[in-house]
Structure 1
Amino acid sequence: MHATGKGGKGEGQHFLLSAAARRLSVAQVARLDDEEAYRLFCGIRWCATEGDPVCPHCGCIAVYKHAKRRIFTCKACLKQFSVTSGTMFHGRKMPIRDLLVAIAIFTNGAKGHSALHLARDLCCQYKTAFVLAHKLREALGAETETRHAMGEVEIDGAYFGGYVKPANWKVDRVDRRFTKNQNGKRRVVVIMRERGGRTLPFVVRHEVDSIPTLQDRIKPGSTVHADEARSWDALTYAGLGLMRINHQEAYSDGDACTNQAESFFSRIRRAEIGMHHHIAGPYLADYAHEMAWREDARRIDNGQQFLLIGLAALIHPPSKRWKGYWQRAKRKEAA
């Protein structure tokens, strides 16, 4: 799991610090001319045909290429389409090269990349960068929402959001740990992490509310590792092998531990504190899916990550949630 450094003594080196982790730079993408960027975009979307267009309507590979515009006409169904038709970038206004630069910047954020930073890097409005980043997060999390966990599975939960600012004067302060003194916005991210497999998060209001989802999405015969929280007691009767570790006594006890689940929470907590600051509310699941993907891809070089994120966005249909996001108030009035 560790790459060997290039030093004369061949000392061990963390993968992220090694040259093997660096296969792409934002400068490389920014230096592409318009035609090179377009060919790369086509190559990512239609990687199975080495960049040759495939009709998104009927799947036919026989198409007419228009000389004056970058669109195609299918010979079978006679419908026109472009490289972004039917994808997350459908109806985009941003140039293709800028989209590629945005994906490269998003990729290189080990703990995520804030919308404000992305807006400055692309010299675009904050609203544009905000929606673009969330479209990428949605594409990354689309596969994991219905995926099942199996084998050795670690589960755990961590609460996010719902911050209540303490009063200025000490005499006016209350114990914010009590429910009556909270604002009700706090949510818990529950993680199912396969040992040697995928990281699958979801969001619920309380930790105990996750039991039905865990019972449904962890395949029978799997061994579940959990901490001492009473929320997980119900899994004993779900046909799952349950191993418990009491964190008040130790972090691990033989094979029983939730260290990999805790590793995920460390990543998302670092993203919350150091990068995004506020990730709760309706967007918490999006950030959780992004951090789960980054945790799973942490040993993949950034060149491959760039291609995987681009492919995820280009095979994902237009987002019902983020398409026209800033006009949602007008849509509600019209409805």
Structure 2
Amino acid sequence: MSGEAGTATLNAAALPASRPRRTSVHRPPSAGARYRASKRSIEENYLATVYRWDEDRVRREFARLRWGSHTEMPCPHCGTIDEHTWTAAREDWRCVFCRKYFDVTTNTLLDSCKRSLQSVYVQTLLWSCGSAGIPALTLREMVGTVSYNTAFSLTARLREGLVRGQNTGLIAGVVEIDGAHASGHDAAGKRGRPLRQQQPKTVEEADAKAKAIVDAFNAKQAKRNLSAEQKKAAKTEQVELRDQGAVRDPNTGQVLPLNRRMVITLRRRSGNPGDGSVWTKVGVGMAETPEVVEHLATRHVLIPESVLATDEGVAFKKLGKQFRLHQTVNHGETLVGPDGEHNNLAESFTARQDRAEAGIYLNVEPKYLMDYACETAFREDHRRVPAPVRTAKLLFWALNVGRSHYWRGYTHGKNRKHELLVPEQLPVGSSSGPAPREPGSEMDGRPPR
């Protein structure tokens, strides 16, 4: 018996110690992450195949994207559709009617581009691969262009194609609308900080937080009991602040910084569980006000035939009465309502836009915020599309919206003189241009953005 007991004790001691139970929950990958990790998201050796194309093969690809054919096309000058004469010496077509020469980039955003068509195609392909974006400085290193402005001007023209082509038209169905702070001082606020860090750590911090909540509530109640003279003085103060360019947030009543903007997104649900959004429209306003959201909804949504899904912001109360149904969710309590109400697809766009602004491009000027928001919308809508298809979409818009309005002569000071805001544009000054050059001065400032 003693021998058996000793053997049992020895065997028990030889067994390895049991592992501690895992306390954290393993979150399964999203549908987008599963797609990007699958073979469906890539086309093997496609980049090497593109580099083997000669200039004629690339020109045929551009002609297919612009006209649908490389043999019969409309003349960009007079509109005559015919099999125009190809001149091998000039590498151009000559119109059989007006006798003018043209190429695949004539009267497009890529007009007067000095790069070869193959270089433009490769740079567009690489730029389309970033989930949140690729800065022009990184793209310059990838394609080996000499000048930063060469890489930047092409990506800027591609964004203009999205602004004038992708971000147009109407959507209908279940449409989610939400706004998010962008640009300006402390645009992200506490969005990037974990919730655990936001909780008070001491009794004094908890008391101060509770007192701040009570003071804010008392101040809100006091505004309702103001006399006529006090209300008139408050209104005069608001007019003065508005004349100076400041805007009040209708949800909090706080005065926003002068360079703060609000990116408003409108996303149509696909209707199939797990597929997310199928179309995104964006706009930039000074604040999330009823005028801004109503202007965007009128421009991009078939209101009588659609269902509106938002949070409980004050900007959506009046707008929701025009829709067939208005679903709201209280984000102070939950992300999804008791009957499935949510606007999580709009929040997904906000997360990608924040990552692009704070982690990829940095220092996005309010003047060009609309361009970057349209880029984020394009990447969100094509997150489960192979890179060749995304490249074709980008070049399609670049070749079919006409000549550039904003980026011809950009580095020579010919800049956009207004900011693309809703409901009306805001006049602004130039953000780049010729300046006195000194040895080493080009390393002091950041590139134009």
Q: TM-score range by the shorter chain?
A: 0.7 to 0.9
Cα 1:163/1:23, change in 2 over 3 Å: same
Partner amino acid, structure 1, of 2:137: L
Match of residue 298 from structure 2 = 216
Q: Distance in 2 between matches of 1:256 and 1:152?
A: 11
1:138-157 residue pairs with structure 2 within 5 A?
138-157=160-179
Three-state SS of the structure 2 residue aligned to 1:154 is strand
How many equivalent residue pairs? 310
1:51 and 1:162, CA in 2 relative to 1: closer, same or farther beyond 3 A? Answer: farther
Residue 373 of structure 2 is aligned to residue 288 of structure 1: yes
| 1:314 is the counterpart of 2:399 | yes
Structure 2 equivalent of residue 185 of structure 1: 259
Within the alignment, does 1:199 sit opposite 2:291 as a pair? no
Which residue is equivalent to 1:134?
Answer: 156
Query: Which of the residues 59, 67, 73 maps onto 1:38?
Result: 59
Shift of 1:45: 2.6
Q: Is the 8 A contact 1:60 1:74 kept in 2?
A: no
Give the match's secondary structure for 2:359: helix
**CA-atom RMSD in angstroms:** 2.7
- Report the Cα offset of residue 230 of structure 1: 1.6
Kept in 2, the 8 Å contact 1:187–1:280? The answer is no
Match of 1:121 among 123, 129, 142: 142
Whether 1:232 and 2:254 are equivalent positions in the alignment is no
SS of 1:124's equivalent in the other structure is coil
* Residues 247-258 of structure 1: pairs in structure 2 closer than 5 A: 247-253=331-337, 254-258=339-343
CA distance in 2, matches of 1:74, 1:193: 43
- Provide closer, same or farther for how the CA distance between residues 20 and 51 of structure 1 changes in structure 2, counting only shifts above 3 A: farther
Between stretches 309-318 and 12-21, larger displacement belongs to 12-21
TM-superposed deviation, 1:50:
4.8
Structure 2: gaps (5+ residues): 1-30, 188-251, 271-277, 418-429, 431-449
C-alpha change, 1:225 and 1:321, in structure 2 (3 Å) is: same
Aligned to 2:69: 49
1:121 counterpart letter in structure 2: M
Query: Relative to 1, partners in 2 of residues 1:111 and 1:191: Cα closer, same or farther, differing over 3 Å?
Result: same
Which structure 1 segments of 5+ residues have no match? Answer: 1-11, 166-176
Return closer, same or farther for 1:105/1:113 CA change in 2, 3 Å cut-off: same
Q: Deviations over 1:80-136 (max 9, x none)?
A: 111211111111111111111111111111211111112222323222222211110
Residues 407 and 415, structure 2, Cα contact 8 Å, conserved in 1: no
Amino acid at match of 1:231: A
Deviation at residue 178 of structure 1 after TM alignment: 8.9
- Is the contact between residue 44 and residue 51 of structure 1 (CA under 8 Å) also seen in structure 2? no
- Aligned partner of 1:16 in structure 2 is 36
Distance 1:147-1:21 versus aligned 2 partners, 3 A rule: same
What is the rounded CA distance, in whole Å, between the counterparts of 1:145 and 1:111 in structure 2?
A: 18
CA pair 188-29 structure 1, distance change in 2 beyond 3 A: same
Structure 1 Cα separation of the partners of residues 95 and 119 of structure 2: 27
CA separation of 1:215 and 1:66: change in aligned 2, threshold 3 A: closer
Evaluate the alpha carbon distance shift between residue 185 and residue 17 of structure 1 in structure 2; reply closer, same or farther with a 3 A threshold: same
SS in 2 for 1:42: helix
In structure 1, what is the Cα distance between the partners aligned to 2:297 and 2:120? Answer: 40
CA shift in 2, pair 1:238/1:30, >3 Å: same
Q: Distance in 2 between matches of 1:164 and 1:215?
A: 28
**Share of identical aligned residues, percent?**
30
Q: Aligned partners of 1:71, 1:311: CA distance in 2, in Å?
A: 20
SS of the residue corresponding to residue 299 of structure 1 reads: coil
CA distance in 2, matches of 1:190, 1:240: 21
CA 1:303–1:250 in 2, change beyond 3 Å: closer, same or farther? same
Taking the aligned partners of 1:331 and 1:26, their CA distance within structure 2 comes to 34
1:51/1:121 Cα in 2 relative to 1: closer, same or farther (>3 Å)? farther
CA apart distance, 1:280: 4.0
Work out which of the residue numbers 69, 72, 81 in structure 1 matches 2:90: 69
How many angstroms does 1:330 deviate by?
9.6
Residues 62-95 of structure 1, C-alpha deviations (whole Å, 9 max, x = no match): 2111121111111122221112111111111111
Structure 1 residue 164, shift from structure 2 partner = 5.7
Residue of structure 2 equivalent to 1:110: 131
- In 1, Cα distance between the equivalents of 2:175 and 2:39? 32
**Which residue number in structure 2 is paired with residue 8 of structure 1?**
none
- Alpha-carbon distance between aligned partners in 1 of 2:60 and 2:167, rounded to the nearest angstrom: 32
Cα displacement (A) at 1:240? 4.5
- TM-score under structure 2 length normalisation: 0.64
In structure 2, relative to structure 1, the CA distance for the partners of 1:251 and 1:51 (3 Å cut) is farther
Q: Please tell me whether the aligned partners of residues 307 and 323 of structure 2 are also in contact (alpha carbons under 8 angstroms).
A: no
* Shift in CA distance, 281/255, structure 1 to aligned 2, threshold 3 Å: same
> 1: distance between equivalents of 2:116 and 2:355?
32
Alpha-carbon contact 2:166-2:397 (below 8 Å) kept: no
Structure 1 position 14, deviation (Å)? 0.7
Where 2:259 maps in the other structure, the secondary structure is: coil
How many angstroms apart in 2 are the aligned matches of 1:235 and 1:188? Answer: 18
Distance in structure 2 (CA, Å) of the matches to 1:310 and 1:77:
27
Give the TM-score, by structure 1 length: 0.84
Secondary structure of the corresponding residue to residue 243 of structure 1: strand
- Which AA in structure 2 matches 1:14? R
